Structure 1
């Protein structure tokens, strides 16, 4: 397992992203449905723009560089083997291009998908890789079925992954979602929406509404809550990266300065 040569796939069949998904996930019964799922997370849609982005990624040797990140952090964390699939990002989407700083991804046990554009600073790629590899490693270490994940699990996943990327790459390359909201806003939404729904299962539609910020919830509020939960735990506790890969989500609620702080009615 390592970085898969999706550059060769793209060279031959960039016009058929569904075929790319079929090759990456041959066990999925409906590859077109899986492609539509990946579109939510940033995989390319326009063939012409994707060709342009692909050429730039090739010139920057992104496949070789991501493989170096993989070898480095797998050794540092004694991490698991995973397959890594790199595809062009959907740059027509303003949130992916600007809100996420031109990089996006999604992780599964033993598989990571990275959606990238050319980088003026390759540290942005490294930061995304750390975030997604942390997800994959934590999934494998926890050995929990995806259907059994709760909202608390998801918040902790995002908070720990972002904290790890911050540790290695610095704040400039971090998304810092929590800084987009005031402390009062964060505490209000925690008390009103998140705290009562921590046991909500991933299959419940409200789970993603809260995680990504939809309907009455500001965009990416769930990620901000996850970062605050982790920071609140770290105020009173020490946690190494390797420990963060296996610590239970419930443990982060103990001696947590964010949770124990002032509540807003």
Structure 2
């Protein structure tokens, strides 16, 4: 299906996020427009009509819809992956954590749809990094049982590692997120033993999983993401390919990386 005309929707809906999300209801099972807005906002969607009115003209000037569409189609063709509906919307330019950890861009992937949240000044290589990361999630979710609806914390941790190594291989190390460089090997081992391994079977949708992945509250900042990146890096260093790892379950990937208690 590819990129949908969300720029036209934004114009017709006067940037109202609730009216925009009402258009998305058919793409979700049993979710209201308010539910969808609340969910997408967590991943970086703009928050108000005023924001949309300020950002939309500049996004159009920078031809973001054409650029995102081209990059997405190129990646889908390269990976021979599923063709899913793609939604491009303005990012929340007042989200400090997103600016620090994700260069001000955001996204969220499902097995059957994909959302990107961008700002007018994002360069093509930054857009490509986001597209590769999130589309890699789509491809991985398609390989998980029940399209990932039963995913665990460990599934989510490994999925983030796979996606960011796909960025490194496809776009280059320079476009990898800053969290890939936050911690040394000893810290990663500690995070694994203390936080991830004991909770690896917790549902990925449980609030604890988000706290561990992002490092909310007292947990290490972006700790779950960093552990996932380290797990996949070790597998690659041991001779496994990213293509091979994409088809292997998370527990086995952790075991191949030599992480303790990954049986």
Question: Does the 8 Å contact 1:176/1:224 carry over to 2?
Answer: no
Cα pair distance change 1:219/1:14, threshold 3 Å:
farther
1:87 aligns to what SS in structure 2?
A: strand
Residues 112-149 of structure 1 show CA distances to partners (whole Å, capped at 9, x for unaligned) of 11000023522101100000011011112324354411
- Of residues 94-103 and 125-134 in structure 1, the stretch that sits farther from structure 2 once superposed is 94-103
Aligned length: 258
Provide TM-score, normalisation by structure 2: 0.91
CA deviation vs aligned residue, 1:164-185 (integer Å, no higher than 9, x gap): 0111111221104131123332
Q: Is 1:171 aligned with 2:184?
A: no
| Counterpart among 143, 146, 163 of residue 144 in structure 1 | 146
Contact 2:188/2:227, CA 8 A, preserved across alignment: yes
- The answer (yes or no) to whether the contact 2:25–2:32 under 8 Å persists in 1 is no
- Residues 44-69 of structure 1: per-residue CA shift (max 9 Å, x gap): 01322322221121111111111111
- 8 Å contact from structure 1 (residues 233, 254) kept in 2: no
Structure-1 residue corresponding to 2:135: 133
- Whether the 8 Å CA contact 1:84–1:111 is kept in 2: the answer is yes
What are the equivalent positions in structure 2 for 1:29-108 lying under 5 Å apart?
29-108=31-110
Q: Displacement of 1:252 after TM fit?
A: 0.8
Give the SS at the match of 1:144.
Answer: helix
CA RMSD of aligned residues (A): 1.8
Contact 2:152 2:200 in 1 (8 A): yes
Do the aligned residues in 2 keep the contact of 1:146 with 1:202 (CA within 8 Å)?
no
**Any idea what the Cα deviations from partners look like across 1:7-42, whole Å, max 9, x if unmatched?**
100111143211212212324432102101111111
TM-score, with structure 1 as normaliser: 0.91
Question: Where in structure 2 are there 5+ consecutive unaligned residues?
Answer: none
Cα distance in structure 2, aligned partners of 1:225 and 1:48: 38
**Greater shift after overlay, 22-31 or 121-130?**
22-31
Q: Is the 8 A contact 2:236 2:242 kept in 1?
A: no
Partner Cα distance (1:55, 1:18) in 2:
20
Q: Which residue of 2 aligns with 1:21?
A: 21
Answer with 73-82 or 176-185: which moved more: 176-185
8 Å Cα contact 1:43/1:88 also seen in 2:
yes
Aligned counterparts of 1:171 and 1:178: Cα–Cα separation in 2: 10
SS of the residue corresponding to residue 84 of structure 1 reads strand
Shift of residue 215, structure 1, vs aligned partner: 2.4
CA distance in 1, matches of 2:242, 2:100: 31
C-alpha spacing 1:64/1:244, structure 2 compared with 1 (3 Å):
farther
The list of structure 1 runs, each at least 4 consecutive aligned residues, that deviate by more than 3 angstroms after superposition, is none
Between the aligned partners of 1:216 and 1:195, the Cα distance in structure 2 is 17
**Structure-2 separation of matches of 1:205 and 1:52:** 33
1:240 and 1:193 map into 2 onto residues whose CA distance is 25
